[in-house]
Amino acid sequence: MMTLVAFIVAIALLIAVHEYGHYRVAVACGVKVLRFSIGFGKPLLRWQSKKSGTEYVLALFPLGGFVKMLDEREGPVPPVERHQAFNTQSLGRRTAIVAAGPLANLLLAVLLYSVVNWTGVQLPAALLAPPVADSIASQAGLVGGERVLRAGLEGESDKEVQSFEDMRWQLTRGALEGQDVRLWVRGDTASTEREFLLKLSGLDSRDVDAQMFQKIGLIGPMSRPVLGDILPDSAAAQAGLLAGDEVTQVDGKPINDGQQLRLMIRQSVVNKVAATQLWSILREGRRLQINVTPSVVLEQGQPIGRIGAYVGAPPELVLVRYGAFDGSWQALVKTWDVSTLTLKMMGRMLIGQASVKNISGPLTIADYAGKSASLGLTQYLIFLALISVSLGVLNLLPLPVLDGGHLMYYLWEGVTGRPVSDAWMERLQQGGIAILMLMMSIAIFNDVSRLFG
């Protein structure tokens, strides 16, 4: 239920902001708005302004919306109202009205990121776990336990890293843009800073998923290898493990991090049979050795090991908070970075350098909406900001059925001095609908594959 409610609230809010952008600028330009609708289908609420005559509608399916303006191309317009028709406005005013929707979504993202920055958010510290063996991070010389201070792409200035998410964002940019990433770190015992270069320029980043970060080698922040809640009748319970046990070795190999321990448990299965592991643990100051035989479960068709316990203590958290000006500036930068990265990703998909499996649809969005809402208001606001940026950027694409397509028409009109002909307009609209339907089909297929595959 939470997933459904969070999804409906998110979509309705983002669509309302988008359409309000069109509406507000249209009214400011003197255009008469006949209807402002959030959603499609049967109207649930409907009222009309006595002053402006605009009808406001909240419909049954909040997956879209529209602002219907007075327009001679859609019906007869009384001569006394012709100056209020959309089609009679100057090129500049029509452009402003059309562009206002996507820009409203981008401004909403800036506002949401600003609120998060002003109020502060608890995030995992940029304390590195031991990297995956033979990964880019391990080849660069990282061993785990380092605290990342700054990070930067080649050709850019280094940026301060306040959390693990800050560092992960720089790694994502580097992987998608095919650039190496510099990390300035400080170890637990060393007081001097050291520079490490992660060579991401040769990384095949067609899929932005867990496998990409597996190749980089930095999957998550460091967490102590301590056991949490243990399920009854689980492999952990049968072995005699207790909550609070700290694992120091597995089969003689030192364990320094929860992620490292989880990986060893997963990889205990050979030929669909889990091997018994000798665990060295620390329990209330005593050192014990316990034989643990993980259970075999299937994950996406592959057999892996599980022990039925929460593995790894919560990571160290830091409060990331900015002042009024810095928070707004960081929000603006974040919105710009996400927008440009989204466009670059779309461009890479267009030329085959990135997989179309990265396109997400309504099912994935709904899933993330529910998960972020369950984590608290701050995470939900971050989710809303990200989707608002995506909606704004998507609508600026030069597809005829989107706002960007209309802006493309106006660019042609500005250059040639004449509007696009009705015949070409019809052909472009049909082509745009076909492309949009193809994108939606791919997105829904990806959703089903991710959630039910």
Closest CA to 419 of 66, 44, 88: 88
Catalytic annotation present for 19 = yes
DSSP state of 220: S
Q: Specify whether the CB–CB gap between 348 and 358 falls below 8 A.
A: no
Cβ neighbours, 10 Å, residue 16: 19
State residue 153 phi and psi, 5-degree precision.
-85, 155
Two tokens, residue 268: 């205990």
Q: How many CA atoms lie within 13 A of 102 on its CB side?
A: 20
Two tokens, residue 348: 């890479």
Helix (H, G, I), strand (E, B) or coil at 19: helix
Q: Specify whether the CB–CB gap between 264 and 249 falls below 8 A.
A: no
Two tokens, residue 392: 């704004």
What gap in Å lies between CA 245 and CA 243, rounded to an integer? 6
Closest CA to 151 of 196, 188, 187: 196
Residue with tokens 């609120």: 115
Residue with tokens 């001097």: 192
Closest CA to 243 of 315, 310, 334, 335: 310
Phi-psi region of 428 (alpha: psi -120 to 50; beta: other; left: phi over 0): alpha
- Cα angle for residues 154, 338, 193 (degrees, 5° grid): 40
The letter for the amino acid at 81 is: E
DSSP state of 86: G
- Cα angle for residues 328, 329, 332 (degrees, 5° grid): 90
What gap in Å lies between CA 90 and CA 29, rounded to an integer? 10
Marked catalytic residue, from 19, 72, 74, 146: 19
How far is the first Cα of the chain from the last one, in angstroms, to the nearest whole number? Answer: 22
Two tokens, residue 150: 């700054």
State residue 226 phi and psi, 5-degree precision.
-110, 140
Residue with tokens 């597995």: 250
Q: In residues, how long is the chain?
A: 453
State residue 146 phi and psi, 5-degree precision.
-75, 145
Question: What residues act catalytically?
Answer: 19
